[in-house]
Chain A
Amino acid sequence: MKDQRTLTEQLDSIDEYEREPVPENKTKNFRSFVSMMAGEHIAGTEFVIGPLFVLHGVSASAIMIGLLLGNILATLSWTLVCAPVAVKTRLTIYYQLEKICGYRLVSIYNAINGLQYTVLAASMIAVSATAIGLAFRLPMPGLTDLYPTSFAWIIAVLGIGAVITVVTIYGYDRVAAFSAVCAPWMPLVFLAAAVAVLPQLGVTSWGDFWAVANDKIWTGVPQPGQTHYTVWHVMFFAWLCNIAMHIGLADMSIYRYAKKPTYGIASAVGMFVGHGMAWLASGVLCALAIQQGNNNPSPGGIAYASAGLAGAACVVIAGWTTANPTLYRAGLAMKGIAPHLKRWKITFWVGIMATIMACFPGVASKLDQMLAFYALVAAPVGAIIIMDVYVLRRFGLMTNYAEQTGISFNWVAAGAWLIAVLISYVLYLMTNADFFFFMAAPGWIIGAILYVGLSKMFQKAPTPEVIA
């Protein structure tokens, strides 16, 4: 009993600055961000996305050019958009948004965001559990299963979910420490797994690689039942699969700890290693599985086949290091709804919710649809914050309108957000785009224009104190 109280007191004392700026003496160095971004973007889901491009018939030149351009754009989005505003305000996106939108409106955003992060964390836990099942020869669900298929599967999910939740509860420092240990090892496993199986695809010298890449890996011909992806699909996916985090500004919660805005460039490690090399490597592994007659490979399966127990462990750990910051963000989002509760208690319940969701393998198989919905909702919100922090004053308008006027629901921000989401969805339908990510960037721009325009139309005249 005494020990329990001690633990509770210890957890209560962890201060994560949810409702105040991060003080200068608590900022982290560049190396922390490199390991954090590397850990987060070298995830178990890379074993899903790389094969996706192979199955959708991306050509070799399309994947190389698309990944290069998309990852450059993603890095620039963190460096030029997310990190500068995070360092300028040193606040979480949730608290900054509350100042702009008011408590009631931001509660809606927090609920949607927290739920999405929880589902995302659940998918990471599910991918990790798949690898555990394979390594120990436990019966596990296939990629098309939606419901739990065995008791052993549930046990594996519960075990992984418990570990991830405990690590996340201890806060950012523990999350960063866990990522720091795993970060140098994980990309080497992806690289080694792909290099080791190249001879089985017919690559016996480096000179053979490009010809085999075109003929057997990224053939340009989709598998039966799959749509055809071009260089544009690859580029927009690489750029915008994390739109909520960079130009949607969710990573303000992480980058508020940066000493300088230039630390945004640390995202390049996550992009070019995790969303570059790892996607290419897992594509190679998928192509081998297809060559061997398996048209529906699982993440754990391709990792185990090429790298043994280390490969299976990599899928598990890659899932952990992504689920940790994702659960951390979910906890912060829910904290916005219930500021009186301790973050660790919220994270505990969010972790339990994610673990229960992960028992249903459908959370992983429907990941792409969830990411698309996430992009739709999050993009205009980032635009509203950027306009509020950098642009409104130039038009003589009030920033942090809800805080300044004491309102709990900013109808201007709500209108800009909702109309931007609706217009981008209508554009998606009208242009018959086969890829929702094509509409995410327009959604951001529409949200920005609407927010400034509606603020100009409906904001009350600023007081002299506000202008000063």
Chain B
Amino acid sequence: MKTILKPLSYIGLALTVVPAFLVFYGVLSLADHKLLMLAGMLLWFVTAPFWILEKKVD
């Protein structure tokens, strides 16, 4: 389970920060960047607690 969740969490983080650089380089609009950030946030908070908190318990 953790092997699936962890990469998804990192994709969430990537969706949070990478679109901003695409806006900076003129590849993406600000509106799309906001939508992708929202998707990244949801992906992070849906997946990360499972493996981060599991690690803390260990």
Please tell me if the beta carbons of A189 and B16 are within 8 angstroms of each other in the complex.
yes
Determine the chain A residues whose CB is within 8 A of the CB of B13 once the complex forms.
184-185, 188
**8 A Cβ contacts from B1-58 to A:** 12-13, 16-17, 19-21, 23-24, 26, 30, 33-35, 37-38, 40-41, 44-45, 48-49, 52-53, 56
* 23 sampled A-B residue pairs with Cβ under 8 A: A177-B53, A181-B52, A184-B13, A185-B44, A188-B13, A191-B17, A192-B19, A192-B33, A196-B30, A198-B24, A199-B23, A199-B24, A199-B26, A307-B33, A308-B35, A309-B34, A309-B37, A309-B38, A310-B16, A310-B40, A310-B41, A311-B37, A313-B41
Partner of A181, one of B17, B38, B53: B53
Chain B nearest CB from A184 CB (Å) reads 6
- Contacting pair A192 B16 (CB below 8 A): yes
Chain B contact residues: helix, strand, loop or mixed:
helix
Q: How far is the CA of A234 from the CA of B33 in the complex (A)?
A: 32
3 smallest A-B Cβ distances: which pairs? A308-B34, A192-B20, A310-B37
Tell me if B52 and A180 are in contact (CB < 8 A).
yes
Task: Compute how far the CA of A114 lies from the CA of B44 in the bound complex, rounded to whole angstroms.
Answer: 34
A176 within 8 A of B: yes
- A195 lies within 8 A of B24 (CB): yes
Residue pair B45, A181 in contact (C-beta under 8 Å): yes
A121 touches B (CB below 8 Å): no
* A169 interfacial by beta-carbon distance below 8 Å: no
CB proximity of A178 to chain B, nearest CB, Å: 9
User: In whole Å, how far is B45's beta carbon from the nearest beta carbon of chain A?
Assistant: 7
A58 at interface, CB cutoff 8 A: no
Docked Cα-Cα span, A284 to B14, in Å, equals: 22
User: A193 touching B20 by the CB < 8 A rule?
Assistant: yes
Is the Cβ of A308 less than 8 Å from the Cβ of B37? yes
Residues 300-331 of A, flagged 1 when their CB comes within 8 A of B and 0 if not, give 00000001111101000000000000000000
Interface size on A, residues (CB 8 A): 26
Q: Given the complex, which residues of A lie within 8 Å of B34, measured CB to CB? A: 307-311
- Complex Cα gap A185–B38 (Å): 12
Which chain B residues lie closer than 8 Å to A191 at the CB level? Answer: 17, 20
6 other A-B residue contacts (CB within 8 Å) besides A180-B52, A191-B20, A308-B38: A185-B48, A189-B16, A196-B33, A199-B24, A308-B37, A311-B37
What is the CA–CA distance of A184 and B47 in the complex, to the nearest angstrom?
13
- Which chain A positions have C-beta within 8 A of B12? 185
- Residues of A near B49 (CB, < 8 A) are 181
Which among B20, B23, B41 is the interface contact of A185 at CB below 8 angstroms? Answer: B41
Residues of B within 8 A of A309 (CB): 34, 37-38, 41
Task: Check if A196 sits within 8 Å of B19, measured CB to CB.
Answer: yes
Can you list, as one digit per residue, whether each of A274-312 has a CB less than 8 Å from chain B (1) or not (0)? Answer: 000000000000000000000000000000000111110
Q: Note all chain B residues with C-beta closer than 8 A to A204.
A: 26
Assembled-state Cα–Cα distance A195/B22 (Å)? 9
In the complex, are the beta carbons of A188 and B17 less than 8 A apart?
yes
Q: How many Å lie between the Cα of A313 and that of B24 in the bound state?
A: 22
> What string of 1s and 0s marks CB contacts (under 8 Å) between A184-226 and chain B?
1100110111111111000110000000000000000000000
Q: Could you tell me the distance between the alpha carbons of A250 and B30 in the complex, rounded to whole angstroms?
A: 42
Give A310 to B13 CA distance when docked, in angstroms.
Answer: 12
In whole angstroms, what is the CA distance A46 to B40 when docked?
Answer: 22
Chain B residue nearest in CB terms to A193: B20
